[in-house]
Amino acid sequence: MEHESFEHTDVAAALNQNYISIKVDREERPDIDTVYMQACQAMNGSGGWPLTIIMTPEKKPFFTATYLPRTSQGGMTGILELLSTVTGLWRDDRGTIETAGEALCLYLRQQSATQSDPSEPDKSILKLAAEQYRDRFDPVDGGFGSAPKFPTAHNLLFLLRYAAVERGSYCRSMAEHTLAQMYRGGIFDHIGGGFSRYSTDQKWLIPHFEKMLYDNALLTLAYTQAYEISRRPLWERVIRRTLSYVLSQLQDPNGGFYCGQDADSEGIEGKYYAFTPMELDQVLGPEDAGRVCRWFQITEAGNFEGKNIPNLLENPDWEQANPAIDELCRKLEEFRFHRAALHKDDKILTAWNGLMIAAFAKAGFALHEPRYLQAAEKAHRFLSQNLKNGTRLFVRFREGEAAHNGQLDDYAFYAFALLAMYETTFDVAYLMESIQIAQEMLRLFFDETHGGFYFYSAEGEALISRPKELYDGAMPSGNSVAAVVLGRLSRLTGEQSWREASGIQLRFLSGAIRSIPMAHSVSLLAMMETLYPSAELLCATADDSVPPELLAFLSEHYRPNLSVLVKNPGNAARLEEAAPFTKHYPIPERGSAFYLCRNGACDSPVYDVEHLRNWCDAE
C-alpha cells in the first residue's frame, strides 16, 4: 500500500482534504496495534497487516480492513473510492457512523472484561496439546499444518520439554524432525546464517526473505534445548551459524540488537539471496562453483523465479560438516554484500532484545562459548543504560532516543532474560534485578482479582479497550512469559508472595486456554514447571567463583526441573536478600556443600559432585 497508494498524489490529496492520517509502527506501539487488530477481527472475522482503520476523532473505529488496492479491482474496494464514500457518509449520516463506532468499542470493552473461569492446571491440558500437535504434524517435511509455514519455535520448546518429562519419544521426534527440515530448507540462510521469517511453501524451501531478531532468538533457544538433550553436532552448527549472523548483521556497536533485515533488495524480493550457476562460476571459478551447485542443488532451471535458493533438501550428506563448503560460503557471503544491499530496521526493542539476550546466555552456557555470554552481558548493559529508568522500561531506542512507556512484553521478556543470565552466570545481581522488574510488572499490569496481565499499564495512554493477550503467535504472549518468570522466581527465592502470584496466573491461564492449548505453548511450559517434580540445588562454596565441578555437572544432562543457586562469601548478603531461605545454609570453610531442596526444605548437604550426581539421578 505504501508504494501502490500512499506515494500517489491523488491518494495523498484525498486523505489530506478530509482526514488526519496516522501511520503506526506496530513495533513501537504494540498496544495500538493489538487493540485495533481486535477491532478488525471483530468486524471482519479476521485480521492481518497492513491494517487499515478509519475512526472518529474520539478514536472509535467504524471501518476496518487489511490490504486495499489504490482503485477498486477484482471485487475489492479501492482506497480512493472508500475515502470518497466515507466522506459522504460522515457529512450526511454522521450519527449512524458514530453509533457504529461506539457499539464496536462497547463490544471490545466487554470482551476484554469477560473472564474465563479459573481452574487448577493439570497434566490433561498438556496431553491434549501434544495430541493437537500430533494431529497437525507434517511427518514428511516437518512443521504443523500447510503452507505458509512459520517456525514458531516455542511450539518445539514445549514438545522437547514434554518429551523429557513424559519420556515421549514421538513429541521429541516431531520437534527434532522439524528442526532438521527447517535447517535443510531455504528458510535457513546457508550462505550467511540465520533464519528467514517463514516459508511460503510446504518444504521450507522458499522463504519470505525478511529476517527478524525474535525468530532467530527463539530458534536459537529451541536448537540449544535440542542440543542439551541429545548433544547432536548438527544442532551446535546451526546455533553457531545463527548467532554469527546476529553478531555480524544485527548487533549495534554498543551492544543492543536491531529488529531485522528487509526481504527486498533494490525493490526485488530475494535478489540478495538467490544465485544462478553462472554467478557462482564468476565468483568461485568452475571447479568450486560446481561443488557448491551440487551441494546446494543449484541448477540452470532454478527453484525461485529462474534463480536458486541454496538448500540441502536433496543432499544425502546434509548432516555432515563440510569445512570446504563453509569456506566457499564465506566467499559468496562477501560477494552478496557488494552485489546488493538489504535495508536494516535499526530500532532496538526491549522485548525482542530480552529474547536474544536469553538465547545468547543459554547457548553460551550449553556450548561453553564465552563470547556468547559476553554478547548477552553487553546487550544487558545497553538495555540498562538506554531503555531503563529505575525500574521503568521503554519500548524502543533509536538514534540516541528511548521512547514509549514499556508494555507487558517488555517487562516479561526482560525479566525472562535476567533469569536466563542468572541461570548461566550465577551472578546474583541478575536475580535481584529480575525480582525488581517482576515486581514492577505486577504493579503495572497484573489483575490481582481475576488473574492475567493487561497488555498496557493503567498509567499509560487509555485506548478504547484494555486487553489481556494470551495467544502465542509469532512471539510468545506477555502473559505466558510472565507465568514462566513468576514460577521461576517462586522456586529460586522460596518466597510465598511469588508462589501466590504464580498460582493466580497459572489458574487464570488454565481456565482461558483449555480448549486450544496448542496455541499457548509457553503457558504450557510454565505449567510443566509446576506440575512435575522440581528441585532447587543450593551450592554453598568457600570460593567466590562458581565451582568448575558444578558447571561440569550441570553440563552433563538435560535437567529441566532443576533450579540452581550459588552462595559464596562475595554474594551471601545479596543472595539472602533475594532468597531469604538461603541464610539457613552456611558456607563451609573449604570446598563446597550441595543442598538439594524440595518444597521449601533442603536435605543434609553432600560435599562432592559424585554424591550430588547419584542424588539427582535417583530423583
Does 267 have pLDDT greater than 80? no
The pairing of strands 260-261 and 198-199 is unpaired
pLDDT greater than 90 at residue 448: no
Q: Provide the CB-side half-sphere exposure for 62 (13 A, CA).
A: 21
Fold of the domain built from segment(s) 2-113: Glutaredoxin (3.40.30)
Q: Give per-residue pLDDT as tens, 85-123.
A: 999 999 999 999 999 999 999 998 888 877 788 999 999
Q: Concatenated DSSP letters for 126-168? A: HHHHHHHHHHHB-TTT-SBSSSSB---HHHHHHHHHHHHHHT-
Task: List residues bridging with 348 in a β-sheet.
Answer: 397
CATH of domain 535-617: 3.40.30
The predicted-structure confidence for 336-395, as pLDDT tens digits, reads as follows: 988 888 899 999 999 999 999 999 999 999 999 999 999 999 999 999 999 999 999 999
Q: Give the pLDDT score at 619.
A: 58
Residue 125 CA to residue 606 CA, distance in Å, equals 38
DSSP per-residue codes, 328-369: HHHHHHHHHHHH----EE--EEHHHHHHHHHHHHHHHHHHT-
Q: Are 224 and 368 in contact (CB under 8 A)?
A: no
At 487 the pLDDT is 97
pLDDT bracket for residue 235 (50, 70, 90): very high
* 302 in Cβ contact with 308 (< 8 Å): yes
8-state DSSP, 603: P
The owner of cell 546476529 is 246
**Bigger pLDDT: 264 vs 488:** 488
385 C-beta neighbours (distance < 10 Å), count: 13
Number of other residues whose CB lies within 10 A of the CB of residue 277: 18
pLDDT at 266 over 80: no
pLDDT at 411 over 90: yes
Residue 140 confidence (pLDDT) above 80: yes
CA distance 158 to 524: 7
Region of residue 405 (phi > 0: left; psi between -120 and 50: alpha; otherwise: beta): beta
Instruction: Report domain extents, the chain.
Output: 2-113, 273-339, 535-617
CA distances from 503 to 46, 121, 423, 514, 569 (A): 33, 9, 22, 16, 34
Give me the amino acid identity at 76: M
Separation between Cα atoms, residue 203 and residue 146, nearest integer Å = 9
Q: What is the mean pLDDT of residues 185-212?
A: 96
pLDDT at 618 > cutoff 70: no
Looking at per-residue pLDDT, the higher value among 201 and 617 belongs to: 201
Nearest Cα to Cα of residue 332 among 476, 139, 192: 192
Show the beta-strand stretches assigned E in 59-203: 61-65, 198-199
Per DSSP, 3 falls in state I
pLDDT in tens, 35-61: 999 999 998 888 888 999 999 999 999
Contact 390, 13 (CB under 8 A): no
Residue 517, pLDDT > 80, answer yes
Q: Which residue has the cell 498496557?
A: 456
538-597: pLDDT as tens digits: 999 999 999 999 999 998 888 888 999 999 999 999 999 999 999 999 999 999 999 988
* Same fold across 2-113 and 535-617: yes
Query: What local confidence, expressed as pLDDT, does residue 372 receive?
Result: 98
Instruction: Assess whether pLDDT exceeds 80 at residue 154.
Output: yes
Which residues, 6 or more positions from 617, have their beta carbon under 8 angstroms from its beta carbon? none
Mean pLDDT (the chain) is 94
User: Cα Rg for the chain, rounded, in angstroms?
Assistant: 26
Query: With the C-alpha atoms ordered 332, 334, 339, 341, is the resulting torsion angle positive or negative?
Result: positive
Contacts with 613 (C-beta within 8 Å, 6 or more apart), sequence order: 553, 556
Average pLDDT over residues 412-432: 98
Per-residue pLDDT tens digits for 281-322: 999 999 999 999 999 999 999 999 999 999 999 999 999 999
Q: Phi then psi for 103, rounded to 5 degrees?
A: -65, -40
Q: Is the pLDDT assigned to residue 78 strictly greater than 90?
A: yes
Pairing of strands 535-541, 562-567: parallel
pTM higher than the cut 0.85: yes
User: Sign (positive/negative) of CA torsion 228, 232, 237, 238?
Assistant: negative
- With residue 4 as reference, give the H or E element that holds it: none
Rounded to an integer, what distance in angstroms lies between the CA atom of residue 86 and that of residue 18? Answer: 10
pLDDT of the residue at 611:
83
Sequence-separated (6 or more) residues with CB below 8 Å from residue 34: 455, 467, 469
